[in-house]
């Protein structure tokens, strides 16, 4: 018997997840049409890996539990076998219109050109949902994220926070959105702030941020109020919009309070 010919894998979906048993099913089902789904598990102690495998995803254990999205996204390049890679977060969902648009692009090698170069990456708009309601103001729309890549041109991801792809070619824009169920409840909002504020404070400290004084806290929080609540009209999203604006002011306060704490600790050492 001759060797069995392996099916061509056009699109791999990479999902980074940790303790997402309530959301991982929806994310995987929304991309069940892809050639493969790879879940990079970063330390789950719940049913996330089991649910992912049951839905046909390949689960790969990551060696660290500390927030390291650049490292994890870079690892996705190694573990994905498709010619194209689509990064989907566990709290996101690919909608039918986006599926149709991506299938057309990923059915072949890059064809579109921009500024004389091939478009090898695409940013995708997201519809953001806060506390169960879609929000459009306060800086939430349009929200483009860089997620679809021709694998051979994607080199790595960099950045401790707000990671960015390093790739060869030009970036294009897709028209169809995906959904992002961020800030699903106050508990998840607080947990996210606890985790990210420490990393943000460390990044600010390493960048040599000026010493925190009492008036800087007021300036930072009032700037957030002005930007989200007034300039970008976050109040137009109703009660949810007002909660989000106030919470973002609180989140900024926690980040800079952590920065102040780091400055105090290191000034004594």
30 and 97 assigned to the same domain: yes
DSSP label of 236: G
Residue 2 lies in a domain: no
153 and 250 assigned to the same domain: no
Tokens of 127: 């519809």
Q: Give the span between the Cα atoms of 176 and 95, in whole angstroms.
A: 8
Give yes or no for a contact between 59 and 73, defined as CB atoms under 8 angstroms apart: no
Of 68, 152, 84, 80, residue with least CA distance to 124: 84
Q: How confident is the model at residue 4 (pLDDT cuts 50, 70, 90)?
A: very low
> In the listed set 158, 180, 202, which residue is the last one of a domain according to the structure?
180
Tokens of 72: 């994890």
Residue 46: is the preceding peptide bond cis (ω within 30°)? no
Percent of the chain with pLDDT over 70: 96
- pLDDT, residue 7, reads 61
Residue 191 lies in a domain: yes
Cα radius of gyration rounded to whole Å, the chain? 20
27 and 80 assigned to the same domain: yes
39 and 78 assigned to the same domain: yes
Give yes or no for a contact between 101 and 197, defined as CB atoms under 8 angstroms apart: no
Q: How confident is the model at residue 33 (pLDDT cuts 50, 70, 90)?
A: very high
> In the listed set 180, 205, 232, which residue is the last one of a domain according to the structure?
180
Residue 254 lies in a domain: yes
Give yes or no for a contact between 72 and 40, defined as CB atoms under 8 angstroms apart: yes
Q: Give the span between the Cα atoms of 98 and 257, in whole angstroms.
A: 41
Residue 92 reports pLDDT greater than 50: yes
Write out pLDDT tens, residues 40-64: 999 999 999 999 999 999 999 998 7
End-to-end Cα separation, the chain, in angstroms: 71
Burial class of residue 121 (count of CB atoms within 10 Å of its CB; 0-12, 13-18, 19+): buried
158 and 255 assigned to the same domain: no
Secondary structure in 3-state letters for 86-154:
EECCCCEEECHHHHHHHHHHHCCCCCCEECCEEEEEEEEEEEEEECCEEECCCCCCCEEEEEEEEHHHE
> In the listed set 180, 198, 222, which residue is the last one of a domain according to the structure?
180
Q: Give the span between the Cα atoms of 67 and 138, in whole angstroms.
A: 26
pTM, two decimal places: 0.90
Domain, as residue range, for 19: 11-180
State whether the Cα torsion 48-49-51-56 is positive or negative: positive
Residue 1 lies in a domain: no
Number of domains observed in the structure of the chain: 2
């Amino acid at each position: 018997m001759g060797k069995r010919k392996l099916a061509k894998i056009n699109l791999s979906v990479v999902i980074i997840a940790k303790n997402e048993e309530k959301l991982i099913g929806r994310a995987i089902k929304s991309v069940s049409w892809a050639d493969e789904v790879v879940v990079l598990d970063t330390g789950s102690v719940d049913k996330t890996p089991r649910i992912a495998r049951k839905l046909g995803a390949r689960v790969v254990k990551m060696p660290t539990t500390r927030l390291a999205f650049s490292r994890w996204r870079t690892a996705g390049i190694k573990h994905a076998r498709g010619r194209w890679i689509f990064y989907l977060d566990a709290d996101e969902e690919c909608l039918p219109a986006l599926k149709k648009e991506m299938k057309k692009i990923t059915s072949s090698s890059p064809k579109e050109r921009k500024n004389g170069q091939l478009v090898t990456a695409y940013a995708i708009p997201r519809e953001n949902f806060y506390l169960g309601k879609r929000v459009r103001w306060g800086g939430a729309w349009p929200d483009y994220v860089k997620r679809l890549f021709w694998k051979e041109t994607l080199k790595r991801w960099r950045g401790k926070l707000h990671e960015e792809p390093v790739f060869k070619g030009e970036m294009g824009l897709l028209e169809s959105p995906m959904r992002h169920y961020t800030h699903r409840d106050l508990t998840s909002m607080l947990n996210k702030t606890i985790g990210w504020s420490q990393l943000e404070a460390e990044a600010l400290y390493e960048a040599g941020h000026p010493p925190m004084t009492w008036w800087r806290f007021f300036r930072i929080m009032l700037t957030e109020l002005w930007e989200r609540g007034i300039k970008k009209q976050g109040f137009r999203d109703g009660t949810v919009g007002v909660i989000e604006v106030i919470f973002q002011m609180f989140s900024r306060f926690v980040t800079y309070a952590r920065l102040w704490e780091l400055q105090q600790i290191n000034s004594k050492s």
